[in-house]
């Protein structure tokens, strides 16, 4: 069987190539009325006979008995229904199934334990307008044991505007709303994934699969143990956010209220918003990035999130590159209002802004603890902390080659201004502190700085050209 690279039904833009239709299929009769050719062969929109299209169950049963290779089927739900768990698999045939409501929103509610839909190899499931998939209830007493929709190897899920996945409590593993398994593919172009709960990935969990969010919202979901209130990006999984919102999600025990990127996962934020998420006891209210994972911020924003450390972003033993976008107006109850850079982690700031973030302790914009921060561009401004209004560094490496970190030399910070402020009085721009040795910089936002903590000597070293240090650091740092 050839791999699915293009799946079409009436009105569907496929994943690999764009296909233009001459028209749309009728829901009556049994003839194929539209054909199109993609790089994997011909795909045909096939109407489900009217006698079998009165209920979702009848339509799926008919497709199960009559599925054609390359067939694209549309099911219109005409009333609220309940359904037992369904496996969508058709003897290896490539099949596309679109499910939509008619003129009003229609709910399909799960009646037993398991995935309402398990999308298997060769199948594309498209959830379209006026359709709500509902679990057994988003509470422990109604706990399910699976995500509401699962996508297995070779399967494809698309969620479009007007579709909702909600009210599922996965007590056993990851993915309250959707779980993507190895080699599965999920594209969300609109709609909502809301009000779901799981151990990890309250909204969506991905393991060695691919998830692209271009529109819609993932909101109000909860991760109870592993993190990722909105989205959990697991091992070798790839998540790309180019539009839409991840907002109002919660990690009650773990990290990453909005998104948690686990071992060897990759997350790219190109556009869209991660906002208002919370990591109650962990790190990274908006995004947390774990060991050997990568996070690239090219556009969009991480804003208004809250966590213990790293109100906006937390990275630990991993790599984060910021090329644009904004990390703004986040809050940490301990340190790192905007972000926290942990042990053996490397953060490179090439563009964008880190602004308006707050913490009572260290690092209003950023707190670096035995990690590395390299600043090549961008701005750090308008942040507030007890020490290190812009950036606080403890036992790590700080290299500033370009960009701007604003100080507050007259110590009369005005709310909303570009100045960073240390309420303790020193290090409005940058504070270096370890082993009782402290240095700070309040002035010269364009000054290029280098500092590295030498644990053996228990001292800071400065201006190491081999590591990128430039400028007259003797005049830039104060004791």
Torsion angles phi and psi, residue 140, rounded to 5: -60, -35
pLDDT at 19 over 50: no
Please state which of the ranges 173-187, 327-341, 351-365, 465-479 shows the lowest mean pLDDT: 465-479
| DSSP string of 236-247, one letter each residue | T-EEEE-SSEEE
Q: What is the pLDDT of residues 415-447, one digit of tens each?
A: 556 888 888 877 888 888 876 566 666 544 455
- 332 Cβ neighbours under 8 A, 6+ residues apart: 285, 306, 307, 308, 309, 310, 311, 340, 357, 358, 359, 361, 367
Residue 367's nearest CA partner among 404, 345, 342, 346 is 342
* Interior/surface letters 317-356, b for 16+ CB within 10 angstroms, e for the rest: bbbbbbbbbbbbbbbbbbbbbbbbbbeebbbbbbbbbbbb
- 444 Cβ neighbours under 8 A, 6+ residues apart: 407, 476
Run of H or E including 196:
none
Residue 155 and residue 124 in contact, taking contact as beta carbons nearer than 8 Å: yes
Q: Residue 96 and residue 74: Cα distance in Å, rounded? A: 8
Q: What is the pLDDT of residue 428?
A: 85
pLDDT at 172 over 80: yes
The pTM assigned to this predicted structure is: 0.89
Provide the mean pLDDT of the chain: 86
| DSSP string of 305-357, one letter each residue | -EEEE-SSEEESSSEEEE-SSEEES-EEEEE-SSEEE-TT-EEEE-SSEEES-
Q: What is the pLDDT of residues 90-145, one digit of tens each?
A: 999 999 999 999 999 999 999 999 999 999 999 999 999 999 999 999 999 999 99
Output the six-digit token pair for 294: 């990568």
pLDDT at 267 over 90: yes
Q: What is the pLDDT of residue 466?
A: 55
Q: What is the pLDDT of residues 193-238, one digit of tens each?
A: 999 999 999 999 999 999 999 999 999 999 999 999 999 999 999 9
Average pLDDT over residues 65-79: 96
Q: Residue 176 and residue 194: Cα distance in Å, rounded? A: 9
The share of the chain scoring above pLDDT 70, in percent, equals 81
Q: What is the pLDDT of residue 408?
A: 60
Helix (H, G, I), strand (E, B) or coil at 142: helix
Residue 232 and residue 206 in contact, taking contact as beta carbons nearer than 8 Å: yes
Q: pLDDT: is 296 or 400 the higher one?
A: 296
Count of residues making up the chain = 479
Distance of CA 72 to the CA centre of its chain: 30
């Amino acid at each position: 069987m050839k791999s699915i690279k293009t799946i079409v039904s009436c009105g569907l833009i496929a994943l690999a190539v764009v296909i233009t239709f001459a028209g749309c299929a009728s829901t009556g009769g049994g003839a194929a009325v539209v054909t199109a050719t993609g790089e994997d062969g011909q795909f045909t929109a096939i109407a489900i006979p009217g006698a079998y299209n009165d209920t979702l169950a009848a339509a799926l049963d008919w497709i199960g008995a009559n599925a054609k290779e390359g067939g694209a089927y549309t099911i219109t739900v005409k009333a609220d229904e309940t359904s037992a768990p369904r496996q969508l698999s058709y003897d290896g045939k490539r099949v596309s199934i679109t499910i939509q409501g008619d003129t009003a929103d229609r709910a399909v509610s799960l009646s037993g334990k398991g995935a309402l839909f398990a999308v298997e190899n060769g199948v594309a499931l498209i959830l379209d307008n006026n359709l709500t998939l509902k679990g057994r209830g988003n509470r422990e007493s109604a706990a399910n044991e699976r995500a509401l929709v699962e996508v297995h190897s070779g399967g494809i899920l698309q969620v479009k505007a007007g579709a909702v996945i909600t009210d599922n409590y996965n007590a056993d593993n990851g993915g309250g709303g959707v779980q993507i398994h190895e080699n599965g593919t999920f594209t969300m172009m609109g709609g909502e994934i809301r009000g779901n709960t799981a151990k990890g990935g309250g909204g969506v969990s991905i393991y060695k699969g691919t998830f692209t969010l271009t529109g819609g919202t993932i909101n109000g979901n909860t991760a109870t143990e592993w993190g990722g209130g909105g989205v959990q990006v697991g091992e070798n999984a790839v998540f790309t956010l180019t539009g839409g919102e991840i907002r109002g999600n919660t990690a009650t025990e773990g990290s990453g209220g909005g998104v948690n990127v686990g071992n060897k996962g990759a997350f790219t934020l190109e556009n869209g918003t991660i906002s208002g998420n919370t990591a109650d006891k962990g790190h990274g209210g908006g995004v947390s990035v774990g060991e050997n994972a990568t996070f690239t911020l090219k556009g969009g924003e991480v804003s208004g999130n809250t966590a213990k450390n790293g109100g906006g972003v937390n990275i630990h033993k991993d790599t984060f590159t910021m090329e644009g976008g904004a990390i703004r107006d986040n809050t940490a109850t301990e340190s790192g209002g905007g972000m926290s850079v942990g042990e053996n982690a490397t953060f490179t700031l090439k563009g964008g802004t880190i602004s308006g973030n707050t913490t009572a302790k260290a690092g209003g914009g950023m707190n670096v603890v035995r990690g590395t921060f390299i600043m090549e561009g961008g701005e750090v401004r308008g942040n507030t902390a007890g020490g290190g209004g812009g950036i606080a560094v403890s036992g790590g490496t700080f290299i500033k080659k370009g960009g701007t970190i604003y100080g507050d030399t007259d110590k009369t910070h005005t709310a909303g201004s570009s100045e960073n402020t240390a309420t303790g009085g020193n290090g409005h721009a940058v504070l270096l502190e370890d082993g009782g040795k402290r240095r700070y910089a309040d002035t010269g936002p364009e000054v290029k700085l280098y500092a590295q903590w030498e644990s053996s000597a228990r001292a800071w070293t400065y201006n190491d050209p081999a590591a990128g240090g430039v400028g007259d650091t003797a005049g830039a740092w104060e004791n």
